[in-house]
Amino acid sequence: MKGSGLRAYAIAYLIFLYAPILLLPIFAFNSGTIIAFPLKGFTTDWFAQMLANQTLRRAFTNSLIIAISSATFATCLGVFAARASTRFNFPGKTGIMGLIMLPLVLPEIIIAMSMLVVLLAIGVKLSIFTVILGHTLICLPYTIAILSTAFNSLDKSLEEAAYDLGETKWSAFRLVILPLVMPGIISALLMSFTISLDEFIIAFFLAGNEPTLPTYIFSQLRFPKSIPVIMSLGTVLVVMSIILLAVAEYFRRRGLARTGQKDHGGFL
């Protein structure tokens, strides 16, 4: 059969990709205190300990505030950039868009370090607010990538029809364009929320003494006895990411269907 060897390889590749992640739930529910086979027995103690942990709750609240704020800011800025780059021609467009998209290829450590140096120099106190500034910056290119697809698929004549029927620029945007790109906006929000929730480097350097979920995980890795709790936390995080991504994918596809496009698959 055509491609059966390739299919077997692709499936093996998927198993390799997922195998480490599958360890998370296995050990999160294992009653043994060390992470090792054979498994001891079933327990939900680690999840109970996780819920009872005060620092972890604080980290969770912080991460939530950071992720919601960054996702909102990045998506708002992304709407402007995506609309500008898909609808208008202006001088310096390549350079301007290049600068905005740069965090996509710049190692995060460079972004974190340079922001840290500037924040310290101008005397801004490190807090979750500074993490939000950083996360907004790194989420912005992803929102633009998603939103550009949404804006690109718009038929320009719909907008012109709205003008001809007496709508102003703003009301045409609100009544015609916005509903059509709404699935893209929701998809961009969810995507940047997920990125921010999982992001470690920028949170590690810009949060000061405030814990976020990834920096809390990092701080606990040195202690073998807290590993089972980290396993259950990791399980929760991965499940959350998968749910968010599935919802984002659903909205992305709905957006394509609404504007009558063919699905080419993939986020980027």
Partner 1 sequence: MSSTRFDAEARQGLAMVSPPLIYAVLMLAAPLITILAYSFFKDGYLEVIREFTLENYRAVWSDPIFHKVMARSLGVAFAVTLATVLLAFPVAYFLSFVVPPERKALWIFLITIPFWTSYLIRVFLWKVILGHNGVINSTLTSLGIIDEPLGFLLYNVQAMVITLAHAYAPFAILPIYVALEKIDRSLLEAGRDLGESRLMTFWRVTLPLAMPGVIAATLIVFIPTIGDYVTPELIGGGKMPMVANMVQANMLALDNKPMGSALAVTAMLIVTVISLIYLFLNRRFLRVKQ
Interaction with partner 1 in 69-98: which residues (CB under 8 A)? 76-78, 80-81, 83-85, 87-91, 93, 96-97
Q: How far is the CB of 60 from partner 1 (least distance, A)?
A: 14
Taking the alpha carbons of 82, 84, 89, 95 in that order, is the dihedral positive or negative?
A: negative
CB 176 within 8 A of CB 214: no
Which among 187, 87, 198, 184 has a CA at the least distance from the CA of 138? 198
**Separation of alpha carbons 204 and 217, rounded Å:** 11
Q: How far is the CB of 156 from partner 1 (least distance, A)?
A: 13
Say whether residue 7 binds partner 1 (CB under 8 A): yes
Find the binding residues for partner 1 in span 115-134 (CB under 8 A): 115-118, 121, 133-134
Nearer to partner 1, 25 or 182 (CB): 25
Nearer to partner 1, 62 or 194 (CB): 194
Which region among 40-48, 51-59, 110-118, 149-157 touches partner 1 (by CB under 8 A)?
A: 110-118
**Separation of alpha carbons 237 and 264, rounded Å:** 28
Q: Which of 158, 160, 171, 224 binds partner 1 (CB under 8 A)?
A: 224
Residue whose pair of structure tokens reads 């709750």 in the numeric block: 57
Q: How far is the CB of 133 from partner 1 (least distance, A)?
A: 6
E strand or H helix that includes residue 82: helix 54-87
Stretch 167-186: interaction string toward partner 1, x if CB under 8 A: --------------------
Give, rounded to a whole angstrom, the gap between the first and last alpha carbons of the chain: 32
Max CA pair span of the chain: 72
